[in-house]
Structure 1
Amino acid sequence: MTSQPSERLRVLVVDDEAPARQRIVDLLKKDAQIEAVLEAGDGLAAVEAIEREALDLVFLDVQMPELDGLGVIEAIGAERMPLTIFVTAYDQHAIRAFEANALDYLLKPFSDERLEAAVCRAKTRHLERNMQALGMGMLRMVAAAGPSGRSIDRLVVKSAGVTRFLRVVEIDWIEAAGVYANLHVGGKEILYRASLNELAESLDAMRFIRVHRSAIVNIDSILELHSMSHGEFELVLKDGHRSRVSRTYRAELEKRLGQSL
């Protein structure tokens, strides 16, 4: 049975300065939604804790000896990191921090209110992740329990505090967006927190076809097919988007269409 993910957070605070670390720890321990607060005094200890513990959120000092905060991200891998809030006294690190998919950025000295706002943002994102994971888990469970070949017909999408059950037939095409996917629906983009490969396994193969390693299209959205060099083609979709059909996926498209291209 699929269990409900916990809404309480396990947090790691990483800072080589004990007083700065203690201040964040003390404030976090007052929050009833924080299940546990762990500490690390340097980047190497942070890497060990992240790999060992099931963490939801990391407060990560950018500038530390031996291995700095960005080095921690590199060692773990951005896609495997818990939600991350960078903490530093140097604002020149902000751009690199957000390039590393930071949830927020606290510039020392910061107020208690600013810290609380960052934690609130983390709680919201954590809940969104849990909702997405629960939705995908339930859909996979239904698909596995159903008749052979059954596929999902709804996606659970949460944005700005609103949960939407999106009918997959409304999707025109899907593109990879790092470890997530962008759904293109009626000219709008919706970030969906699942990989393109996960979606490819769950969607109806009679309607959605992989045309490139980074793109899936709804066959009903294809308007034209243009021949290119080296056996490749370009699809023109109803929304005007053009997507290349690589040779790797050409046979799959031909099989679905029932004819050679």
Structure 2
Amino acid sequence: MRRYSALIVDDERLARNRVRRLLSLDCDIDIVGECANGEEAVAALKENAAQIVFLDVQMPGIDGFGVLEAVDRDRLPVVVFVTAYDAYALKAFEARAFDYLLKPFDRKRFTEVLRRAKAHVAMLEGATVNLRIVELLESLDTRKTDHARIAIRTGGHVVLVKTDSIDWVEAADNYVCLHCGPETHVVRETMNSFEHRLDQNRFLRIHRSAIVNLERIKEMQPWFRGDYQVVLQDGTKLTLSRSYRERLKNVLLRPF
């Protein structure tokens, strides 16, 4: 069973007791501490790895917003602000709070917020694991001189794609589409970043939105206003812009 750690921060004892009672009804939750003021909260967040914190806004000394400002963003858990004043709602979300509990709240509202907070923790940790896997695989790839495979994240999964299966790469805003025969992989990455991950001896940028596998090129056709069309072996036609034409010409070692 997955466990989640929670920290309670509130200067009112009765308020802390209520949150503790509601948390104790969830068998997935481990309460790792309670703090009666902002100073204690800052120290607790710097020392332990609570995944969810229920944080009162109005406290003497350092208030809830001050607590968040005092803790490195990399160490911030999922934050649920708890307060009796709805005027703080907008500021809470601007401070990167995950959710907002307005006193007095009932068990149903608390349970729903806790459910969503746990799901968010699981999602963030899953994303972190995937990112670390990608970084590891990429570091392994960079040690290979043949660039045989490339690690990508797509659809929530880490996929190893053989570079020789890539026909061409297409830019789409902050994404790139890897066209591999009948398959297309969509990756959240800029074209410039992805270009540097490819073997420059096998792949060439022919347009600001297209990179082509040189082995897939079948022919060149004059097109429009000095541009050419690059025709791939599967019949796909891509635009070769004038700014990239000389580079391709030098690579292919033939005038056109």
Indicate the TM-score class for this superposition, using the shorter chain for normalisation. Answer: 0.5 to 0.7
Q: In the TM superposition, what whole-angstrom CA distance separates every residue of 1:189-238 from its partner, at most 9, and x where no partner exists?
A: x9x8x9x9xxx6xx55156xxxxxxxxxxx677259xxxxxxxxxxxxxx
> Residue 15 of structure 1 is aligned with which of 10, 18, 35?
10
> Which residue in 1 is equivalent to 2:109?
114
> Which residue in 1 is equivalent to 2:172?
172
> Residue 205 of structure 1 is aligned with which of 189, 193, 196?
196
> Which residue in 1 is equivalent to 2:151?
153
Q: Distance in 2 between matches of 1:221 and 1:89?
A: 57
Q: Distance in 1 between matches of 2:170 and 2:31?
A: 42
Larger relative contact order (Cα-Cα within 8 Å, sequence gap ≥ 6): 1
Q: Please say which of residues 58-67 and 134-143 is displaced more in the overlay.
A: 134-143
1:136 is displaced (CA, Å) by 1.4
**Cα separation, partners in 2 of 1:140 and 1:42, compared to 1, 3 Å:** same
How many positions carry a matched residue from both structures? Answer: 192
1:29 and 2:28 matched: no
> Which residue in 1 is equivalent to 2:208?
222
**For residue 49 of structure 2, what is the amino acid of its counterpart?**
A
**Cα separation, partners in 2 of 1:28 and 1:170, compared to 1, 3 Å:** farther
**Cα separation, partners in 2 of 1:69 and 1:143, compared to 1, 3 Å:** same
> Residue 77 of structure 2 is aligned with which of 74, 82, 91?
82
**For residue 61 of structure 1, what is the amino acid of its counterpart?**
D
> Which residue in 2 is equivalent to 1:54?
49
- Structure 1 gaps of 5+ residues are 1-5, 175-182, 208-218, 225-253
Q: In the TM superposition, what whole-angstrom CA distance separates every residue of 1:18-71 from its partner, at most 9, and x where no partner exists?
A: 110111111112212113341110001000000000111110000000000000
Return the TM-score normalized by structure 1: 0.61
Choose 1 or 2 for highest CA Rg: 2
What percent of counterpart residues are identical? 34
Indicate the RMSD between aligned Cα atoms, in angstroms. Answer: 3.9
1:44 and 2:39 matched: yes
**For residue 205 of structure 1, what is the amino acid of its counterpart?**
H
Q: In the TM superposition, what whole-angstrom CA distance separates every residue of 1:104-140 from its partner, at most 9, and x where no partner exists?
A: 0000000011011011111111111111111112222
- The 8 Å contact of residues 10 and 37 in structure 2, kept in 1 or not, is answered as yes
1:137 and 2:132 matched: yes
Q: Distance in 1 between matches of 2:8 and 2:140?
A: 42
> Which residue in 2 is equivalent to 1:70?
65
1:11 is displaced (CA, Å) by 0.7
